[in-house]
Amino acid sequence: MQPTKIKLNQIGAIIAESFNGKKEIVCYLGSNAATPTASIEALTRSIMSQKPRLPFINMVHLLLQGPVPYVAAGLQDRVMAYSIFSGGEVRQAANEGRAFYLPCTLANLDSLIGKGRRYEPDVVILKVCQNQFTGEFSLGLSVEALHTAIDHAKIVIAELDPSMPFTQGQSVVDAQSVDYIIDGGVKPVYDFAAPDFENLIPEEKRIGELITDNFIQDGITLQVGIGKIPDAVIGTIRDAQYKDLGVQTELYGDGLMLLEEKGIVTNRKKRANLGYSTTSLIMGSSALYDFVHMRAGVQMRPCTYTNSAETIHKNSPFISVNTAIGVDLLGNVWADFIDPRRYYSGVGGQPDFIRALNDHAYGAPIIAIKSITHRGESKITKMHPPGISLTASAFDGVVIVTEYGIADLRGLTTGEKAMAIARIAHPRFSDDLMRYVNEDQLFTKPSGFSLDKTPKGVTLYDGRIKIAE
């Protein structure tokens, strides 16, 4: 049975009729590069006009690209956003009390939206593309938790988007799982300029060099986020010409494509998903989308799989590279808030990989950050901002990397951690932080401690890339 074709302006009426008499429903939205913007805008018009009369809608989603009009002021008596990861308009709305931040790691999304859970979907709105030969639908660039959402929803509405690549793996959806399909007025997927791997700034190149020289080896499995620092890691891996790397990641971007094109990523050494890269989301350039289209070597999986400790352990040795907003001297890391009054994004999958890699036997969870902000403030602080949520706690065995060195915190005491972290801070702040550690009795110092010695766990940068201090 094929889905019923509808127009964008029918979405409101279908929801109103399907949930007639119900006061409140949950709508789960597809996310990231596959955000169904046209449907979001059409449904928002119905919410605003109150024609037809709709139940109160709880919108649950990860990062949405493009406009999100339902978070506008004045609509919160009719619709409310529950954002697991945010940007742009949703971030602003959350900081102004017009949207909820719903903290959850990607590995645990099913615990929010599964059967009988508070956010079990009544409606799912997403994008699909179609295989012209088989007629199958694919979730394309965004799988995340959509299979769970589809399985439990009463209505599934899909935009049929020919601009989206048909991806392989667990992105395929049978026609019976989609109730309504929209093939007119759909906006294309979101694409972004590819990183310039040839012109990375010196600080980022130094971080990439430190990680590559000290943690990357032939045959390891790699997870990297998207951003300038992960891009620098990709660039240095490419230049070092490692062999037979594997990829298991939550988000696949242009950098991982580059390594696959160069033959550096082959996935030949993986014990789970041998022979292909696994990811839950794909986001990047139009060239990336052309690359993954119908490619068996890049396959989609739900984020509960890509981010699960069991799968990560099977593919060890495993190196995870993510970034953060700040780190304190106890080894606490934060990435979703700037301070308790300024929400920024979400925890994503960072804690999933950190916790899975706590044991040395499986690999290393790396937090890579530049030592200072664009305002010249230290990203390494004495204490984390009071009341802020953490993506890694002092008891998590993370590795911190700045352009000045590596602080491998695994197995270190509180005092040793503090000294190691202070030592890789920017030189404008490092001496003061070291003196603070020296003078505070909280940080028990090891025998033979001296401010002149390189602390335990620290590898200082001694390469050739120079930067202005």
Active-site residue set: 250
For 302, phi then psi, to 5°, come to -60, 150
For 71, list phi and psi in degrees, rounded to 5.
-90, 5
CA distance 354 to 338: 20
Return the closest-CA partner of residue 217 out of 417, 35, 56, 363: 363
Q: List beta partners, residue 353.
A: none
Give the start-end residues of each E strand in 131-235: 137-138, 155-160, 168-169, 172-173, 180-182, 221-224
CA distance 80 to 212: 44
**From CA 324, how far away is CA 103, in angstroms rounded?**
16
Tell me how far apart the alpha carbons of residues 253 and 179 are, in angstroms, rounded to a whole number: 31
Closest CA to 178 of 138, 119, 131: 138
Alpha-carbon distance of 206 to 212, in angstroms, equals 10
**Residues whose CB falls within 8 Å of the CB of residue 285, separated by 6 or more in sequence, listed in order:** 191, 192, 193, 194, 254
Conformation bin of residue 411: beta by default, left when phi > 0, alpha when psi is -120 to 50:
left
Asked if residue 103 has a cis previous peptide bond (ω within 30° of 0), the answer is no
CA distance readout (Å), 167 to 180, 300, 417: 21, 7, 43
Contact 458, 439 (CB under 8 A): no
281 in Cβ contact with 250 (< 8 Å): yes
β-pair type (100-101, 79-83): parallel
Q: Spell out the alpha helix ranges (H) of 241-328.
A: 254-261, 286-292, 303-306, 309-314
Q: Which run of H or E residues covers position 439?
A: helix 427-439
